Structure 1
Amino acid sequence: MTPRRQRWIVIAGVTALALTSNAVIGVSPAYAERPVIDPAQLPPPSPPGPLEPTEQKNACALPSEAVDAQEVPTAQETLDFASVWPITRGAGQLVAVIDTGVTSHPRLAGLTSGGDYVSAGDGLFDCDAHGTMVAGLIAAQTAPGSGFAGGAPDARVLSIRQSSNAFQIVDNRPEEEKAAEPENAAGYGNARTMAMAIRTAVDSGATVINISEVACVPAGGGVADGPLGAAVQYAVRERNVVVVAAAGNVGSAACRTQNPMTDPVRPGTDPWASFGTIATPAWFDDVLTVGSVESDGTPSPFSLAGPWVDVAAPGSNMTSLSSTGNGLANGVLGTDGVLPMSGTSFAAPLVAAVAALVRAHRPELSALEVVDRIQRTAHAPAEGWNPLVGHGVVDPLAAVTDLVTPAPRAVLADSVALSAPLPPPAPDHRPRTAAATGSVLVAVVLALGLALSIPLRRRGPPQ
C-alpha cells in the first residue's frame, strides 16, 4: 500500500455528489497533513435516520436511458470480468452501497435495505440516479441478450442512502450560523452521517463497503472527519470488512486544485510532503482508494491525484442500471443535454466488485490481505506507483487466481524485562604489578652485585 496518513484533522463538509463531481467544498494549497485515527470517535450503534429534519427541495434526476445491447460495455470488457465467472461470481458476499440510495431493479435480485440517513425512507429509493448506477456496476445480474452485468453478479447489495442533492435541511437558524457550517448548497449529507452509515453497514453484515462519495477540503484548513476515520478503522481492523472509496474528481466547485504528480527528477520524494486538496474518506490508510482511467488506460483528466490513491479502474462514459424502469442508463438529463456517467464514483464500484470476487473465492483472507492482493496484481505503471492510478489498473482474474506472497506485517514484540546491568569489571593491574616487581628485582640484583664488589676494591694490589 502507498505511504499513508497519520495525523487527525477536523472536517465539516458534505459528501453529496453529482455524476461528474464527488465533493462540494472549496480547496486551496496548504501544508500537507496526515490523518490519525481516534477510536473513541466511533459513532455508537443507532437506527438510521437524518440528524436534522430534511425536506425535498429539488426534483429527482432523470436518467438518460441507454440501449441494452449484446455488446459488453467498454469498462467490463477492459477488465474482463467474464473470465473470472467460471471460478467465482461473488456469491455469499454482501456489498454495502453507501450512496444516494438504490432503487429496486429486476437485475438486483439480492438488493436489501440498510436504512436512510437523508429522510424517513429505507434506502431503497434513489432520487439522484447515482446509487443505482453504482450498485449495478457491482452486482447487476447477467441477462439473455444483454452484454451488461456487474462485476460480481451473484453478490448481494445492501443499500444505505447517505446523501442526496434533492434534499436539504429544514433550517430555521440565522444566516450567520448557517454560514459557519459549510454544507452542500445543493443537497444533504456530511462526514458524520457517512461515519454512521459505515457503522450500520458493518453491523448489518457487509463484507465489502463501496463509498462513491467524497468531501474535498483544503489541506491545512481543518475538516471534521474524526468519526469517519474511526468508522473506517472499525470496519477494516475490527470487523474485517473491505472498504473501497472513490478518489474524487478535480474540477468541481470544491476540488478545484489538482494535487502534484510524482517528480521524475526526485523519485524518492515523500508524496505526502506537499498537496493542496484532501479527499475524505479516500485519504485514510485502510481505505482501498480508486482513481479513474480512460478506455485506453490513461488517467482520466478529472481523477484527483493524491498519495492515498491505491489502484484505478475505468470511470468514463459508463453504462449501468437505470433508477427508473427496468433498463439501463448512461447518464442523467441536464439543461444542456445528457450528463455522461463519468467519475471516480464509477471506477470505485468496479474495484468493489473485484473485492467481492476475491472474498468469495478466498474466504481465508483478511480484509487487509484482500486489499494487498488487489494492489499486487494490478497492472502497475512504469514507476511502480503514482498518485493518479496508484499501483495501476486492477486485474480481476489475477486478483482471484494469482499466487501472491502477502506483504510482511509489522509485528510489535512483547516487552521483555531486562536484568539490572552488571557492575563494570575491576581494573586489571597485573601488567603494572609485573613491571613494578621486575624493577624491584633488578634493583635488588644490582645492589647485591655492588655490595659484593666493595671488599675486593678495598684490598688493593698485593704489597
Structure 2
Amino acid sequence: MLGPGTATAGLIGSGIAAAVLPPSVDPSRLPPNVPPVPLATELRDPCTETSPVSDPAPVPAPQRTLDLESVWPLTTGRGQLVAVVDTGVARHQRLPGLVAGGDYVSAGDGTEDCDAHGTLVAGIIAAARDDSTGFAGVAPDARILTIRQSSNIYREVRGGRSAEGRNARGAGDVGTLARAIRRAADLGASVVNISEVACLPAGTDDGGTLGAAVDYASRVKDVVLVAAAGNLDSDSCRNSNPPPNPAEPHANPWDSVVTVATPAWYDDQVLTVGSVDPDGRSSPFTVPGPWVDVAAPGTGITSLDPRRTRASDVTDGRNGGTVQGTSFAAPYVAGTVALVRARHPQLTARQVMDRIEATAHRPADGWNPYVGHGVVDPLAAVTAETASAPIGPDPSSRELAITGAVAPQDPRPRTTALFGAIAVGSALGVGLLASFPLRRIRQRAGSDTATG
C-alpha cells in the first residue's frame, strides 16, 4: 500500500542494516503514456473530517519562519504548474487555477479528496493570498495540477472481495505512482510534489517502473521532483535508519541502511524533504536516510480546508488531530521550487535543486540524514548569487555617461606633498620605536622605588 505521507506496511523489513547502493534506473521500464484507468475500489470508511481554525487571522508559524512576505515582491510563482500527486485536491476558492489531471483511485478527474490530504498539500504550495486569513501558499500565483493516486479511505476490490496484502489499507502502489509521475510530466508540470512514501527493507527494490518514471520526468522533461522523506509510525515505516556514528565520521551512510524510502532514494533526481519542529530541530517522526536533501516545517500546519471552500476556510486538524508530517514539509519546498523557477526560468531542474540545497541553513555538521543540507530558505534560494545563476545588476540602477572631458591636472605639487608627509611620518615612527626601551626602564625603576 502506498499511503499519503506514510509508507507500505506490508513491506517492512526486520530492521537489519545492510549495504545499499543508490538505485539504478532502467529507462525501458517507463510506463506508457495513457490516461488514468481507475482501480475497482469502494469506500471502506467515511471521508476524513476536518475542523476550522479558531482564528484564521494570524500568519501560521511555518509561514513566518520561512519569511515568505520578503519573497513575494520578487516572485510569486506565476507561470508555474505544480503537480500534486496525492489523494486528490478539492476545488477551493483559493485554488483558482486548479487543473484536473486524472484519478487512479476511482472514477473522477482528481478533484475529490476524501482523505483531506492532497488539498492540504496543494494549499501549502499555492493557496492564493486573501485578506480574510493570514495563511497563504508559498507560491500563491502558481497553478496546481491534481492527480489522485492513492487513498487510505478507499480499498481495492477484486471480484467483489476485498484485496488483501499490501493494498489492505487503501488504494495506490508504486505502479500507480510511476504512472502518475509520467502523466504529470507529460501534462507540462514544472514541479511535482510527492507527499507519498513506500518503505522497503534494505536489499529489496521497488520494481523499476518508479525509477524509470522519475528518470523520465527529471532528465527528459526537466521537472523538479520533490518528495517527502516519510514518517516513522506504527503503521508504516517502523524501522528507522541509524544516526551517524561520531566514531566513524567518514562512513558511507548507504552502508547502514535499514529501511529504503521510495521515491526518496532516487537521490540524484529527487529533492527529498525532512521535517523540522518550530525550534528548528528535526521532527522525531522523520525517516532519516542518505537521500535526505533539505528540511522544512512539518508541524503547526495550517492549510486549505477541503470540506469548506470559501476564501476564509482553512484548517489545522483532521479527525480530531493536528496536521503534521514530512508530507507537509515537502510542499513548502515544492512551493520554493516554483518561486525559483519563475524567477530564474533559465535554470535546469538539477540547477534548481542544487541552488535550494546550497542556500539552505546548514546544520552544524554540514549535512545529516535528518535535515540534509538544512532548512530551506526561500528568499536566499531566489536571490543568492550562486554558480548556477549569478544575480544580475540591480534593475533600478543605471550607468551614467560623462558629458564632457575634464582637463588633466599637474600632479607634481600633490606628489611633492605626499613624499614630504611620508618622510615626516617615518621620522616620527623611528622616534616612537626608540622610546619603547627607555619607557620600560623608567617604569621598572619606578616600580622598584615603590616596593623597596
TM over 0.5: yes
Aligned position for 2:318: 332
1:110 deviates by: 0.9
Determine if the alignment matches structure 1 residue 399 to structure 2 residue 381.
yes
How far the C-alpha of 1:254 sits from its partner, in A, is 2.4
Q: CA distance change for structure 1 residues 155 and 68 in 2, over 3 Å: closer, same or farther?
A: farther
| Kept in 2: contact 1:116–1:161 (CA 8 A) | yes
The one-letter code of the counterpart of 1:277 is: T
- Gaps of at least 5 residues in structure 2 are 390-452
1:249-289 Cα distance to aligned partner (Å, 9 max, x none): 01232211111111222111101011111110011021000
**Which residue does the alignment assign to 1:57?**
44
Percent identity over the alignment? 55
Residue 166 of structure 1 and its aligned partner are, at CA, apart by 1.4
1:63-462 equivalent positions in 2, closer than 5 A: 63-172=50-159, 182-220=165-203, 222-285=204-267, 286-326=269-309, 327-333=313-319, 338-406=320-388
* Shift, 1:174, TM fit: 9.0
Tell me how far apart the structure 2 counterparts of residues 41 and 68 of structure 1 sit (CA, whole Å).
49
- Deviation of the 1:406 alpha carbon: 3.7
Change (3 A) 1:273 1:64: same
TM-score normalized by structure 1? Answer: 0.80
Q: Secondary structure at the match of 2:273?
A: strand
Distance in 2, Cα, partners of 1:171 & 1:42: 26
> 2:28 is paired with a residue of what secondary structure?
helix
Greater gyration radius: 1
Distance 1:84 1:224 in 2: 38
Q: Distance in 2 between matches of 1:208 and 1:17?
A: 18
Aligned counterparts of 2:331 and 2:207: Cα–Cα separation in 1: 22
1:353 offset after TM fit, Å?
Answer: 0.2
Give the secondary-structure state (helix, strand or coil) at the position aligned to 1:363. Answer: coil
Equivalent residue for 2:419? Answer: none
1:147 maps to a residue whose letter is: G
Structure 1 unaligned spans of 5+ = 1-13, 408-463
Does the Cα contact within 8 Å between 2:206 and 2:262 map onto a contact in 1?
no
SS in 2 for 1:97: strand
Answer yes or no: is the 8 Å Cα contact 1:305–1:388 preserved in 2. Answer: yes
Question: Is the Cα contact below 8 Å between 2:156 and 2:167 reproduced in 1?
Answer: no
Q: Is the 8 A contact 1:68 1:328 kept in 2?
A: no
1:22–1:212 contact (8 Å) kept in structure 2:
no
CA distance in 2, matches of 1:384, 1:324: 42
C-alpha contact 2:105 2:149 (8 A) present in aligned 1: yes
User: Are 2:6 and 1:24 aligned?
Assistant: no
CA distance in 2, matches of 1:325, 1:301: 31
Q: Number of residue pairs matched?
A: 382
**Matched residue SS, 1:170:** strand
Shift of the alpha carbon at 1:146? 1.4
Question: Aligned with 1:114: secondary structure?
Answer: strand
The one-letter code sitting in structure 2 at the alignment partner of 1:41 is R
Give, as a single letter, the amino acid of the residue that structure 2 aligns with 1:240: D
- Residue 48, structure 1, aligned to residue 36, structure 2: yes
Whether the 8 Å contact between 1:16 and 1:184 is mirrored in structure 2 is no
Displacement of 1:341: 0.5
Cα distance in structure 1, aligned partners of 2:284 and 2:303: 22
